[in-house]
A and B are shown apart, each in its own frame.
Chain A
Amino acid sequence: MSDMITFDKVDKRFGQTVVLDQFDFRVARGEKVAIIGPSGSGKSTLLRIIMALQDIDQGKVSLDGRPLWDAAGGKHRIKPTRKHLRDMRSLVGMVFQNFNLFPNLTALGNVAAAPRHVLGLSQAEAEARAAALLAQVGLSDKLQNYPATLSGGQQQRVAIARAMALEPEIMLFDEATSALDPERVGEVLEVMRALAHERDLTIVVVTHQIGVARAIADRICFMEGGRILEDGTPQQILNEPRNERTRAFLRAVHLS
Chain B
Amino acid sequence: MTEIFSWPFAAEILPALLRGAVVTFIATIGGFFASLIIGAVLLALGRSKQTAIAWLGRGLVELLRSTPLLIQVYVLFFVLPDAGIVLEPVTTGILALGLYHGAYVAEAYRAGLDSIPRGQWDAIESLRFSRFAAYRYLILPQAIAPLVPSLGNTFITMLKDTPILAAITVPELMFAANDAGSQSFRYVEPMTMAAIAYLVMSLIAAFAVFLLRQRLGTRYA
Chain A residues whose CB sits within 8 angstroms of the CB of B49 once the complex forms: none
Chain B residues whose CB sits within 8 angstroms of the CB of A103 once the complex forms: 142, 220-221
Which residue of chain B lies nearest to A98 when distances are taken between CB atoms in the complex?
Answer: B119
CB of A118 within 8 A of chain B? yes
- In the complex the two chains form, is A102's CB within 8 Å of B122's CB? no
- In the complex the two chains form, is B141's CB within 8 Å of A94's CB? no
- In the complex the two chains form, is A100's CB within 8 Å of B119's CB? yes
Q: Tell me the bound Cα distance from A100 to B120 in angstroms.
A: 5
CB of B85 within 8 A of chain A? no
- In the complex the two chains form, is A117's CB within 8 Å of B220's CB? no
Q: Tell me the bound Cα distance from A77 to B2 in angstroms.
A: 90
Task: Determine which of A86, A92, A96, A114 lies in contact with B119 in the assembled complex, contact meaning CB atoms within 8 Å.
Answer: A96
CB of B11 within 8 A of chain A? no
Q: Tell me the bound Cα distance from A239 to B39 in angstroms.
A: 62
- In the complex the two chains form, is B125's CB within 8 Å of A53's CB? yes
Q: Which of B87-95, B130-138, B147-155, B186-194 contacts A (4 or more CB under 8 A)?
A: B130-138
Q: Tell me the bound Cα distance from A215 to B80 in angstroms.
A: 73
CB of A162 within 8 A of chain B? yes
CB of A89 within 8 A of chain B? yes
- In the complex the two chains form, is B127's CB within 8 Å of A118's CB? yes
- In the complex the two chains form, is B220's CB within 8 Å of A53's CB? no
CB of B123 within 8 A of chain A? yes
CB of B126 within 8 A of chain A? yes
Interface of B is mostly: helix
Tally of contact residues, A, Cβ under 8 A: 31
CB of A78 within 8 A of chain B? no
Q: Tell me the bound Cα distance from A211 to B125 in angstroms.
A: 30
Task: Determine which of B127, B128, B133, B145 lies in contact with A162 in the assembled complex, contact meaning CB atoms within 8 Å.
Answer: B127
Q: Contacts A113-B137, A113-B138 hold; do A102 and B123 have CB atoms under 8 A apart?
A: yes
CB distance from A43 to the nearest CB of B (A): 16
Chain B residues whose CB sits within 8 angstroms of the CB of A162 once the complex forms: 123, 127
CB of A194 within 8 A of chain B? no
Chain A residues whose CB sits within 8 angstroms of the CB of B220 once the complex forms: 103-104, 146-148
CB of B129 within 8 A of chain A? yes
Task: Determine which of B119, B126, B142 lies in contact with A163 in the assembled complex, contact meaning CB atoms within 8 Å.
Answer: B126
- In the complex the two chains form, is B128's CB within 8 Å of A90's CB? yes
Q: Tell me the bound Cα distance from A102 to B143 in angstroms.
A: 12
- In the complex the two chains form, is B130's CB within 8 Å of A96's CB? no
CB of A51 within 8 A of chain B? yes
- In the complex the two chains form, is B122's CB within 8 Å of A100's CB? yes
- In the complex the two chains form, is B221's CB within 8 Å of A102's CB? no
Which residue of chain B lies nearest to A87 when distances are taken between CB atoms in the complex?
Answer: B128
When each residue 112-146 of chain A gets 1 if its CB lies under 8 Å from chain B and 0 otherwise, what string results? Answer: 01100110000000000000000000000000001
- In the complex the two chains form, is B137's CB within 8 Å of A117's CB? yes
- In the complex the two chains form, is A53's CB within 8 Å of B126's CB? yes
**Chain B contacts with A in 98-131, Cβ cutoff 8 A:** 117, 119-120, 122-123, 125-130
Q: Tell me the bound Cα distance from A102 to B133 in angstroms.
A: 13
CB of B215 within 8 A of chain A? no
Task: Determine which of B127, B133, B142, B219 lies in contact with A166 in the assembled complex, contact meaning CB atoms within 8 Å.
Answer: B127
Task: Determine which of A48, A104, A117 lies in contact with B133 in the assembled complex, contact meaning CB atoms within 8 Å.
Answer: A117
Task: Determine which of A53, A148, A166 lies in contact with B122 in the assembled complex, contact meaning CB atoms within 8 Å.
Answer: A53
Q: Tell me the bound Cα distance from A96 to B124 in angstroms.
A: 12
Chain B residues whose CB sits within 8 angstroms of the CB of A104 once the complex forms: 138, 141-142, 145, 219-220
- In the complex the two chains form, is A94's CB within 8 Å of B126's CB? yes
- In the complex the two chains form, is B126's CB within 8 Å of A118's CB? no
- In the complex the two chains form, is A102's CB within 8 Å of B129's CB? no
Chain B residues whose CB sits within 8 angstroms of the CB of A100 once the complex forms: 117, 119-120, 122-123
CB-defined A-B contacts under 8 Å, sample of 6: A89-B125, A90-B128, A113-B137, A114-B128, A117-B130, A118-B128
Chain B residues within 8 Å of A, Cβ to Cβ: 117, 119-120, 122-123, 125-130, 133, 137-138, 141-142, 145, 219-221
Which 10 A-B residue pairs are closest in the complex by CB-CB distance? Answer: A100-B119, A100-B123, A148-B221, A104-B141, A117-B133, A114-B127, A146-B220, A94-B126, A89-B128, A104-B142
